[in-house]
Amino acid sequence: MHNKKNFKYLILLIFFVISCADKSSLIYNSNQLIDYKLRRPSFWISKVAKPDKIIMNKQNIKEFNREIINMNLVKDLLDSKIFNKKNVYNEIKSIVKNMSKRRLYFIDGRLINKYFYKNLLSNIDLEIYNDIKFNFAFITRFSNQKLLPTDRKFFNKRNDFYFDRNQNNGLDIGTPVVVAHTTKDKKWCYVLSEYSNGWVKSKNIVKASRNDIELLNIMKKGVIISNKADLFADRNLTDYIATARMGDAFIYVKELENLYEILLPYKDKYNNLRYKRAYINSIDINKGYLPLTQRNIIKQAFKLINNPYGWGDMGFEQDCSKFIQQIFLSFGIKLPRNSYAQSLVGKNIYNFNKNNINNKRKIIAKDAVPGLTIMYMPGHIMLYTGKHNGDYYVIHAIYQTEVKIEETYKKLLINKVEVTPLNWGKNTLFNRIEKINLITK
């Protein structure tokens, strides 16, 4: 009887999966559609004339970052201009107002009602305007940054669980932030990071001072250059602490045999900031930022290939703009967090408002630089890898696209970082590109 019951549930589960599937989708793996050589960095590097030429030096990159900050696309946490109570107050209220107007669903399919938002607003307690105070802090473990102070996930459609509309970003261990406000129940803090604002769980934050943030900026850095890197409390690398991601930077202490020693901020039992020594395999970290060359950019990008797609860093992964951001953080370049903002930085070589669409192919052929060129379409951004057999290719974190199979266009769920040609789809990626920029001065 027990086995029959389990079999019955199995049949129901299979029926549910089949009934919920998109009938137009193609059961295909993108690996089968892409030649394996195109998924290797060396293939694209071999097409570059001078792959080791320095594109921007440290001073150039510093000036490049300052331009982005001056455009208000990235924040300088030490700049007093960001400590604006009125702006934060209006921002928090605006987010609640805008979210409550949308037709959103919980994971169980129930429509989110006005009473839910009313309770959230009560907990935010913005009526006490003077409670908005700015304090420096560090993130002590990977944290989901939310638009609203709740772990509940919000979805545009029932049974569509890939895109939590309450997810704003992911903040890694050691990330400096500014805490602006705390909920009435003290469980959530509204924090400003260099790239995004939102709610983070209070237990994942330790209060710091301005000097602590300045120290991180001026000390020598150990920069994560692997896709993901584990941090340990001991030199034998057996006492696991946490995992860092590409582009994360920590205070560098010294290099040991096959190891780097770094400092991690943590919260002691009295909720005070302390630093502890942590150890990391030397293959995962670099003393300082990598030199900005085409070889290094392409190598960094391909370290992330096959990584699962993660909207707003869901599941400790990356979406299209975080993918681009992580790559360039390896070189000390601080790109904005969303795709549209990224399309505003660097040297623009194509803009559909200024250039004839018929010139797009000529511009790519003449001016696009493999590894250094980002291509933007509404809601998505990609890194150009080069030309092969007459097609232009990009590497990007992509959820799904279309492919032509036997004269029929089919939806293809990719859901990871992948290399694809720009000619895929009925309305191709190539046709939808609106801006092409070089990440250089």
Measuring CA to CA, which residue among 319, 247, 325, 238 is closest to residue 290?
A: 247
Please give the single-letter amino acid code of residue 302: F
- Is the predicted pLDDT of residue 10 greater than 60, yes or no? no
Give phi and psi for 158, each to the nearest 5: -65, 145
Residue 99 CA from chain centroid, whole number: 22
- State the Cα–Cα distance between residues 96 and 190, nearest whole angstrom: 13
Q: Is the pLDDT of residue 71 over 60?
A: yes
Handedness of CA 307, 195, 59, 320 (dihedral sign): positive
Question: Mean pLDDT, to the nearest integer, of 392-401?
Answer: 96
- Residue 1: is its pLDDT beyond 70? no
Mean pLDDT of 171-199: 97
Average pLDDT, stretch 225-251? 98
Residue-level pLDDT at 226: 98
Q: State residue 280's pLDDT score.
A: 98
Instruction: Please give the model's pTM, rounded to 2 decimal places.
Output: 0.92
| Among 136, 277, 133, residue whose Cα is nearest residue 212 | 136
Region 309-318 average pLDDT: 96
Q: What is the pLDDT of residue 26?
A: 52
Q: Supply 359's token pair.
A: 């010139």
What are the phi and psi torsion angles at 44 (to 5°)? Answer: -80, -35
Confidence of residue 4 (pLDDT cuts 50, 70, 90): very low
Measured from the Cβ of residue 434, the count of other Cβ atoms closer than 10 Å reads 16
Range in 117-121, 293-297, 382-386 the model is least confident about? 117-121
Range of lowest pLDDT (9-18, 111-120, 147-156): 9-18
What is the rounded average pLDDT for all residues in the chain? 92
**pLDDT tops 90 at residue 304:** yes
**Confidence at residue 109, expressed as pLDDT on a 0 to 100 scale:** 93
| β-bridge pairing 188-192 and 435-438 | unpaired
Residue 60 has phi, psi (to 5 degrees) of -60, -45
- Alpha carbon 419 to its chain's center: 18
Percent share of the chain, pLDDT over 70:
94
The pLDDT of residue 11 is: 37
The closest of 410, 408, 412, 409 to 400, measured between CA atoms, is 412
The yes-or-no verdict on residue 12 having pLDDT over 80 is no
Convert the pLDDT of each residue in 199-232 to its tens digit: 999 999 999 999 999 999 999 999 999 999 999 9
Higher pLDDT, 159 or 296: 296
Beta carbons within 8 Å of 196's beta carbon, 6+ residues apart: 145, 168, 169, 337
- For tokens 């009602």, the residue is 113
Position 406 confidence tier, pLDDT thresholds 50, 70, 90: confident
What is the predicted pLDDT for the residue at 358?
80
CA neighbor of 70 nearest in space, from 402, 345, 417 = 345
